A and B are shown apart, each in its own frame.
Chain A
Amino acid sequence: MGSIVWIVIALAIGSTALYVYTVWYRARLPALEMPPGEELPATHLQRYAGWTLLEVGFLTALAAAIIVFFGPKAWWSQDGVRITVTIILLVALASYLVFYMAIRKLRDRDDALVDERDLVILNRSGAGVGGAMMAVMAVWMIALVEAYNDTGMVPSYYLYLVFWSLVMTNVIASLAGILLAYRRA
């Protein structure tokens, strides 16, 4: 099987496991009672994290689509592909930085737009980042071994792709962790 198929299978299994765990965890919490027709108001941190996750997710998917379309080898052989993908990923990282700085600024304000519960959730949100990075690393390992076991040599450009995928996994897992922590809180 190709490495892309392995990655899709691993992501599908990981997402399903996460979804089942979240549903199971929420079922244990006491039901949230809200007046009819009213929803739990989202906090600023929740809204910003959601928008940044959409933005970073879209940019990462775009970068991945370019690499899949041109093939991983294009990272090495075509400067245009490498520069375009790098710029897209740097813009995604800049979005995350802007989000982080905005939250720090809100935290320091007196009008409590980010309060102590938000900070507890923010601290708790990183719990799954290590696991997500290990899962991505495992997928890469399996995919590369499957694809290059016969030759015994993995092309060096994959190191860059592994690096960038881990960086983006860190960012996406951090943002998704905030949203999940609110659902579990």
Chain B
Amino acid sequence: MAPKAEIRNEVRRLRFEHGQMTQQQLAERIGCTRQTVIMLEQGRYVPSLALALRIAHAFRTTVEEVFTLEAD
């Protein structure tokens, strides 16, 4: 059985590295609500593959650069 894993993300860091993008601006760019961006950044929501790809595209990077799988 695969070990329990946690998905971590770099959304907050990437947002600041991309011209101090606000949560609202990112939300509009990736097609979600600001609440979802807040929850994503704090690790309380794991996005669908489609949203993960849209986030990666918004930062012009790959999904692996934004999300990492951390085993316990």
Chain A residues with a Cβ under 8 A of chain B: 29-30, 32-34, 40-44, 110, 112-118, 185
Contact = CB atoms under 8 A, between A and B. Distances in A.
Interface residues of B, number: 18
Contacts of B51: 116
A43 B33 contact: yes
B35 A116 contact: no
Interface string B19-49: 0000000011001111110110011110110
A30 B42 contact: yes
Q: Does more than half of chain A's interface fall in helix, strand or loop, or is it mixed?
A: loop
A113 B33 contact: yes
Contacts of A40: 35, 38
A12 to B, nearest CB: 32
A148 B45 CA distance: 51
A185 B45 CA distance: 8
Interface of B: 27-28, 31-36, 38-39, 42-45, 47-48, 50-51
A112 B33 contact: yes
Contacts of A118: 33
Contacts of B32: 112, 115-117
11 contacts: A32-B44, A33-B42, A110-B31, A112-B31, A112-B32, A115-B31, A116-B32, A116-B47, A117-B33, A117-B35, A185-B44
Contacts of B47: 116
A41 B43 CA distance: 17
Nearest to B50: A116
Contacts of A42: 35
Given A40-B38, A116-B48, A117-B36, A30 B43 contact: yes
Return the 8 tightest CB-CB contacts between A and B, nearest first. Answer: A115-B32, A112-B31, A117-B36, A43-B33, A115-B33, A43-B35, A41-B34, A112-B32
**Residue in B32, B34, B47 whose Cβ sees the most chain A Cβ within 10 Å:** B32
A45 B18 CA distance: 30
Contacts of A115: 31-33, 36
**Residue in B38, B47, B50 whose Cβ sees the most chain A Cβ within 10 Å:** B38
Contacts of A110: 31
B42 A117 contact: no
Contacts of B44: 29-30, 32, 185
**Residue in A32, A42, A110, A116 whose Cβ sees the most chain B Cβ within 10 Å:** A116
